[in-house]
Chain A
């Protein structure tokens, strides 16, 4: 996995924070991950999962307790931040309030001792890149949140870092602006060809922007993969639950043939899915995941599973129908409103659930 082409290669990295008393917090636990060059890589996880800690270790604001961090093959784990060709876009931008927009962007270049002409040219170039040419001489307190965000990006990109770190940079923006910035970030990454490492707790953001995602929980990386891989083939229950909505069904393996396993569900009915790699002994209990959009409602008596409609939630583009299954578990079906009339199903009504063949997954655990 670890090749010279990795922009960042973290090997066995742990970070332990010592509390005031005896208690220690293991924020990162033996994490290894290789981030490729020119990649838009996202660290995704709930708060406290260690994603920001990993970012801070790469930036150099904290140092790992164990392990090494390679940047293009060179161990930078113990270098101070000002000696790393890595720049950060902070969550609240951390723009210098005593400087203008232009001075903020020029700061890194000045510290690198670049000549005045080059700095001016680069600042102009950066302002153009983030479409802020008119605001060069404004104070950072005089511009809007979205504009501050762009300045923070320009400031971090100006010194041409090898890797750009982004610590939840969109969380302070409103919904519409966030959508725009997601596309903008993707464009910037494409135009500059710099490796982006993006930290977020927003799975939608991660899915739309990333080339690859690492899902983290409790200081560990659970799964690394392309958005599609992670969504379609979640490694475990946590990943399946964290990324998108999921139905979990409990069942027993009834038979296994040619890599396909038939699973008898506790809720009644059977589903067919790819057998787990390690093999599945007959009768063993497994959990199956079915994404809500891979199920459709059919008239009662048909389909793979039977259920009773409990709730119908209208979302504009689609409708979520919550059903109760025979074993008492919940099941959600998402249907596009183009194919479903709004009053087709009502609470209390019996219905069948048809699951698209090939979409159910047996979880590893």
Chain B
């Protein structure tokens, strides 16, 4: 090996060593704070439940996983599908999908409006979109309650304007949950949408109009395909946390319309069934992972069209 090659090889190794040292703190935190606890949750889901919460350590059983999907009848011991869990799972997925769709419907025009403003105003508007992040989600949710409760802003205004005679019941319904979730997750939709809309070359829109496409066709054939990565990113960013949403359904839904997050909370709290709670958590994780995989595949397929 020539001297030059040896020196280059040494430099390369030193470079790799430096990189390992620089990434070590992040890897350490990730391992201790993410992989470790996840492993503990996985272990708990496979142990026997304790009588007053907790688990009986190192006594393994699949009861937790069994009761995620099935239930044993109290009287005749027959095994059936865990109806309640399936319903809650389905409700969570449904609510999250609807939330995602609503935030997309509201967020798309918002992001578009921001992206066509002059740069200075754009920065201000984006800044304003992030303002809700400054306040704790619990406080924002209680503020929402103030808006939609029977004596709240909406009902008071509607009665004052004469549209209704007695308040509409919004609190403690699915509507209240939609309301709250859309409000909480809207910025997570608007920001990625704006990020990809800002990059659109406006001449492409003009080219669309020039080639006989009306407003709707330009939206469908030019703008939406171009901001697709933003739509996918925003949808995932909204869908994943809404699936595990816990505060909003609890405060605005009154806890009677359980979602997956509330169900898990219940197992670790009053239910005193940690293995079941852990198994449910892992189930949620699997759903989220599948959603993420779909996103990554979509995003990488989209990538080809934008390279220049």
Instruction: Write the residues of chain A forming the contact surface with B, with a CB cutoff of 8 angstroms.
Output: 59-61, 80-82, 86-88, 90, 92, 94-98, 107-108, 111-112, 139, 141, 155-156, 159
B305 to A98, Cβ gap below 8 A?
Answer: yes
Which chain B residues border A87 with CB–CB below 8 Å? 210-211
A90 touches B203 (CB 8 A): yes
Instruction: Please indicate the chain A residues that have their CB under 8 angstroms from the CB of B221 in the complex.
Output: 107
Which residues of A have CB within 8 Å of B305?
A: 97-98, 139, 141
A98 near B211 (CB under 8 angstroms)? no
Contact between B209 and A96, CB atoms less than 8 A apart: no
Smallest distance from the beta carbon of A221 to chain B beta carbons, Å? 24
Given A97-B305, A98-B225, A98-B226, A107-B209 contact (CB < 8 Å):
no
Query: What is the CA–CA distance of A96 and B203 in the complex, to the nearest angstrom?
Result: 10
Q: Complex: how many Å from CA A107 to CA B208?
A: 8
**A61 and B212 form a contact (CB under 8 A):** no
Supply 13 A–B pairs (Cβ within 8 Å), ascending by A. A60-B210, A81-B206, A82-B209, A94-B206, A96-B204, A96-B207, A97-B306, A107-B213, A108-B212, A141-B308, A156-B211, A159-B211, A159-B212
When C-beta atoms are compared, the residue in chain A nearest to B306 turns out to be: A97
Which residues of B are interface residues toward A (Cβ below 8 A)? 201, 203-204, 206-214, 217, 221-222, 225-226, 304-308
Q: Could you say which residues of chain A place their CB within 8 Å of the CB of B214?
A: 82, 111
- Taking A94-B203, A107-B221, A139-B305 as contacts, is the C-beta distance between A112 and B226 under 8 angstroms? no
Question: Considering only CB atoms, which chain A residue lies closest to B206 in the complex?
Answer: A61
| Residue of A whose beta carbon sits closest to that of B307 | A141
Q: Point out the residues of chain A lying under 8 angstroms from B206, CB to CB.
A: 61, 81, 88, 90, 94
Q: Which of A81, A90, A96, A155 contacts B222 (CB 8 A)?
A: A96
CB-defined contacts of A90 to chain B, threshold 8 Å:
203, 206-207
Q: B204 to A94, Cβ gap below 8 A?
A: yes
Interchain CA distance A94-B304 in the complex, whole Å: 17
Contact of B210 among A81, A92, A97, A141 (CB under 8 A): A81
Q: Which residues of B contact A108 (CB under 8 A)?
A: 211-212
Q: Is A82's CB under 8 angstroms from B222's CB?
A: no
Which residue of chain B has the shortest Cβ distance to A103 in the bound complex?
B221
Picked from A94, A98, A112, the residue with its CB within 8 Å of the CB of B207 is A94
List the A residue with the shortest CB-CB distance to B305. Answer: A98
Complex Cα spacing A90 to B203, Å:
8
In the complex, A59→B307 CA distance in Å? 29
Query: Could you tell me if A82 and B210 are in contact, using CB atoms closer than 8 angstroms?
Result: yes
Task: State how many angstroms separate the Cβ of B20 from the closest Cβ of chain A.
Answer: 36
Chain B residues, CB < 8 A from A107: 208, 211, 213, 221
Report how far A120 CA is from B58 CA in the complex, Å: 69
Residues of B near A155 (CB, < 8 A) are 211
Contacts of B307 in A (CB 8 A): 141
Residues of A close to B209: CB separation below 8 A: 60-61, 80-82
Q: Distance in Å from the Cβ of B228 to the closest Cβ of chain A?
A: 8
Residues of A within 8 A of B208 (CB): 96, 107
Q: Are A111 and B210 within 8 A (Cβ)?
A: no
A139: chain B residues at CB < 8 Å are 304-305
* A-B contact sample (13 more), CB < 8 A, given A82-B210, A87-B210, A96-B207: A60-B209, A82-B211, A86-B210, A94-B204, A94-B207, A97-B226, A97-B305, A98-B305, A107-B208, A111-B212, A141-B305, A141-B306, A159-B212
Across-interface contacts of B225 in A (CB, < 8 A):
98
* Min distance, Cβ A80 to any Cβ of chain B, angstroms: 7
Interface pair B212/A88, CB less than 8 Å apart: no
- Chain A residues with Cβ below 8 Å from B210 are 59-61, 81-82, 86-88, 156
Chain B, Cβ-Cβ closest to A59: B210
